[in-house]
């Protein structure tokens, strides 16, 4: 019996030793987890000035005080006299704006319990990088009308690759991505906030989703499954849907059989193909609209070629008697609640309304306009961009209004017909200007690109003008400008500021959405 008791004791001791070892391993793992909570990480080089600070939670702490010094310091004495920012919070994270790009910063956290300082963290360090687009000596977002109403709003400018506060100050820029450096990001388009608190954009015919820190979260497959070619050639608009899926415009080249008796001498040679039977086919670029799930699988697609081949478009003729242009899709809007998609076709000044997921075209808005054809007429819009659906049921868009020299770009709101007997009609419009002067389209501006409109919660309209002007403004339904600005670059040779060419701008409406973007991807 005594021997048995000794065996039990030995087993108990081994068991106790095993438990103690496991506890020690757990305790040893705690510091690494605590350290993982510290953000920005030691020595980080950030591409933003609005910084989310995260640090370990201290027990029984009533408040935390974040102190930030301008410079790199490693001792208490050198640090405490250089503090430029001191903020207090009840939680172990907060957001602070450091003053400049291209600077070094040192920070620490002081924990306070029962109104007594309990702990001071070690000193941490980070720096902010700088690129020309955030160097205020050569790049600026000149605000021409200030506002207090939208003081918590922030604006993405794809021409500058930046996020700016409502006063024009840059607080974030798109960092270099793998295989791209900061010098070849010139084709950036559609930079905007997603419903999931991430950032989406198009770059060099590829679709990206990143977080605030610049980590790539999703990238379009771009594998030609829909186009039938090597790539999908993404362009113009890329949107993450509320259900988590992704929708993007793509392109495909389609051979269109032509009447061999027609004169093809005015067409570009690279568009004409003759087969062995002398059948003439013309290479036309059409658009695709592709929906992907989170894993990159195609879950839905729509091809404009499949619709237009059987539409009246094939009977429209240019001066040489041929259909020799592409329709040029330049935007889409998916009304997820109504299950309807609107697609804008610039070159034929038309918007198609499509039933989802059937793909059936429910209606076509705007008479087809084609260059050099005087018989075409469209009193709704011409070379439009950014068709969207308003919260009270109207269709609205940015009208480049490029059909006639001397015309001005407009924002147009259209009421769709409610029955077959009704006609579509324009119910509101606003003629755009820059610095209070009319922004007129000249004869050589017929292919003016870009422009977009976003309805705000108060029904005002956030507008980014076409690439010729690039002005950005907010106008209410009484046609009063509430806020405006012009992105500009300094031209050393001309010794003046010139408007920055951009395709679109977008807006973050409120502080909550901004904070959600900043904290997305940062662990607590």
Spatial separation of the C-alpha atoms in residues 440 and 329, rounded to whole Å:
24
Asked whether residue 430 is domain-assigned, the answer is yes
pLDDT attached to residue 374: 39
DSSP assignment of 212-232 equals: TT--EEEE----STTTSSS--
Per-residue pLDDT of the chain in tens (524 residues, 90 and over written 9): 444 444 445 545 555 555 545 544 444 444 433 444 899 999 999 999 999 999 998 888 889 999 999 999 999 999 989 999 999 999 999 999 999 999 999 999 999 887 777 789 999 999 999 999 999 999 999 999 999 999 999 999 999 999 999 999 999 999 988 766 665 566 899 999 999 999 999 998 999 999 999 999 999 999 999 999 999 999 999 999 999 999 999 999 888 766 554 545 545 555 566 666 666 677 788 999 999 999 999 999 999 988 887 665 554 554 444 455 678 899 999 999 999 999 999 888 899 999 999 999 999 898 654 443 433 445 788 889 999 999 899 999 999 888 777 788 999 999 998 887 888 889 999 999 887 777 776 555 555 678 999 999 999 999 999 877 889 999 999 999 999 999 999 999 999 999 998 899 999 999 999 999 999 977 54
pLDDT attached to residue 266: 43
H helix or E strand, kind and range, residue 45: strand 44-46
Statement to judge: residues 285 and 194 lie in one domain: yes
- The last residue of one of the domains, among 104, 128, 152, is 128
Statement to judge: residues 400 and 484 lie in one domain: yes
Whose tokens are 């147009």? That residue is 412
- Secondary structure class of 494 (helix, strand, coil): coil
Statement to judge: residues 123 and 271 lie in one domain: no
In sequence order, the β-bridge partners of residue 251 are: 287
Statement to judge: residues 167 and 269 lie in one domain: yes
Distances 171 to 96, 134, 162, 243, 454 between C-alpha atoms, Å: 11, 8, 7, 29, 22
Whether the CB-CB separation of 53 and 44 falls below 8 Å is answered with no
Statement to judge: residues 184 and 106 lie in one domain: no
Spatial separation of the C-alpha atoms in residues 158 and 202, rounded to whole Å:
10
Whether the CB-CB separation of 453 and 474 falls below 8 Å is answered with no
Asked whether residue 303 is domain-assigned, the answer is yes
Statement to judge: residues 395 and 473 lie in one domain: yes
Overall domain count for the chain: 2
Statement to judge: residues 137 and 177 lie in one domain: yes
- Secondary structure class of 142 (helix, strand, coil): strand
DSSP assignment of 433-449 equals: EETTEE----GGGTT--
- CATH code for the domain of 311: 2.120.10.30
Whether cis (ω within 30° of 0) applies to the bond prior to 306 is no
- CATH code for the domain of 121: 2.60.40.10
H helix or E strand, kind and range, residue 398: strand 395-399
Asked whether residue 19 is domain-assigned, the answer is no
Statement to judge: residues 240 and 184 lie in one domain: yes
- Secondary structure class of 242 (helix, strand, coil): coil
Domain that residue 249 falls in: 132-519
pLDDT attached to residue 177: 84
Asked whether residue 107 is domain-assigned, the answer is yes
Sheet of strand 154-157, all strands in order from the earlier edge strand to the far edge: 170-173, 162-165, 154-157, 505-508
Asked whether residue 356 is domain-assigned, the answer is yes
Which residues touch 403 (CB under 8 Å, ≥6 apart)?
349, 369, 378, 382, 383, 446
Q: Are strands 437-438 and 93-97 parallel, antiparallel or unpaired?
A: unpaired
- The last residue of one of the domains, among 103, 128, 153, is 128
Statement to judge: residues 122 and 162 lie in one domain: no
As given in the structure block, the two tokens for residue 304 are: 């404009």
Statement to judge: residues 72 and 181 lie in one domain: no
Statement to judge: residues 73 and 205 lie in one domain: no
Asked whether residue 15 is domain-assigned, the answer is no
Spatial separation of the C-alpha atoms in residues 463 and 472, rounded to whole Å:
6
pLDDT attached to residue 293: 98
Q: What end-to-end distance do the CA atoms of the chain give, in Å?
A: 55
pLDDT attached to residue 278: 65
DSSP assignment of 71-136 equals: S---SHHHHHTTEEEEEEESSSEEEEE-S-SS-EEEEEEEEEETTEEEEEPPPEEEEE---GGG-T
Burial class, 424, CB count within 10 angstroms (exposed 0-12 / middle 13-18 / buried 19+): middle
- The last residue of one of the domains, among 60, 95, 128, is 128
Q: Are strands 280-292 and 350-355 parallel, antiparallel or unpaired?
A: unpaired
Spatial separation of the C-alpha atoms in residues 107 and 86, rounded to whole Å:
10
Whether the CB-CB separation of 124 and 68 falls below 8 Å is answered with no
Closest by Cα among 163, 169, 165, 117 to 140: 169
Statement to judge: residues 389 and 305 lie in one domain: yes
Rg, Å, the chain Cα set: 29
Asked whether residue 7 is domain-assigned, the answer is no
Which DSSP state fits 271? Answer: G
In sequence order, the β-bridge partners of residue 116 are: 113
Asked whether residue 101 is domain-assigned, the answer is yes
Burial class, 394, CB count within 10 angstroms (exposed 0-12 / middle 13-18 / buried 19+): middle
Largest interatomic CA distance in the chain: 113
């Amino acid at each position: 019996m005594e021997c048995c008791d000794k065996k039990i004791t030995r087993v108990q001791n081994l068991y106790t030793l095993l438990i103690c070892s496991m506890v020690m391993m757990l305790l040893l793992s705690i510091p690494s987890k605590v350290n993982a909570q510290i953000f920005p990480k030691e020595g980080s080089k950030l591409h933003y000035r609005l910084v989310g600070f995260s640090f370990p939670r201290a027990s029984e702490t009533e408040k935390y005080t974040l102190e930030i010094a301008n410079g790199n310091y490693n001792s208490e004495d050198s640090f405490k006299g250089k503090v430029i920012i001191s903020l207090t919070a009840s939680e172990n994270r907060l957001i602070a704006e450091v003053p400049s790009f291209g600077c070094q910063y040192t920070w620490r956290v002081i924990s306070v319990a029962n109104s007594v300082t309990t702990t001071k963290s070690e000193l941490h360090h980070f720096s902010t990088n700088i690129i020309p687009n955030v160097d205020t000596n050569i790049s600026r977002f000149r605000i021409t009308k200030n506002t207090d109403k939208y003081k918590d709003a922030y604006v993405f400018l794809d021409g500058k690759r930046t996020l700016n506060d409502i006063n024009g100050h840059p607080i974030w820029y798109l960092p270099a991505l793998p295989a791209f450096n900061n010098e070849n990001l010139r084709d950036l388009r559609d930079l905007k906030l997603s419903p999931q608190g991430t950032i989406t954009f198009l770059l060099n015919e590829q679709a990206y989703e990143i977080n605030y820190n610049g980590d790539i979260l999703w990238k379009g497959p771009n594998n030609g499954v829909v186009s039938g070619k090597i790539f999908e050639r993404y362009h113009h608009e890329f949107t993450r849907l509320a259900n988590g899926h992704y929708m993007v415009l793509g392109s495909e080249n389609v051979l269109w059989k032509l009447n061999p008796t027609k004169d093809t001498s005015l067409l570009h040679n690279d568009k004409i193909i003759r087969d062995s039977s002398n059948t003439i086919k013309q290479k036309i670029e059409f658009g695709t609209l592709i929906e992907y799930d989170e894993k990159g699988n195609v879950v839905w697609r729509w091809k404009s070629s499949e619709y237009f081949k059987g539409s009246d478009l094939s009977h429209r003729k240019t001066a040489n008697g041929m259909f020799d242009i592409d329709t040029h899709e330049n935007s889409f809007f998916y009304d997820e609640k109504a299950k309807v998609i609107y697609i804008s076709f610039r070159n034929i000044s038309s918007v198609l309304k499509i039933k989802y997921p059937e793909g059936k075209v429910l209606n076509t808005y705007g008479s087809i306009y084609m260059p050099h054809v005087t018989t075409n007429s469209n009193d709704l819009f011409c070379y439009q961009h950014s068709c969207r659906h308003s919260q009270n049921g109207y269709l609205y868009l940015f009208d480049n209004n490029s059909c006639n020299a001397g015309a001005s770009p407009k924002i147009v709101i259209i009421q769709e017909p409610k029955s077959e007997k009704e006609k579509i009609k324009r119910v509101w419009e606003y003629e755009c200007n820059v610095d209070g002067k009319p922004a007129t389209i000249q004869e050589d501006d017929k292919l003016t690109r870009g422009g977009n409109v976003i309805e705000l919660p108060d029904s005002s309209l956030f507008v980014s003008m076409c690439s010729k002007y690039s002005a950005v403004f907010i106008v209410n339904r009484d046609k009063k400008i509430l806020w405006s600005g012009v992105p500009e670059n300094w031209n050393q040779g001309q010794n003046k500021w010139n408007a920055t060419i951009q395709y679109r701008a977008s807006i973050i409406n409120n502080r909550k959405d901004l904070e959600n973007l900043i904290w997305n991807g940062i662990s607590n």
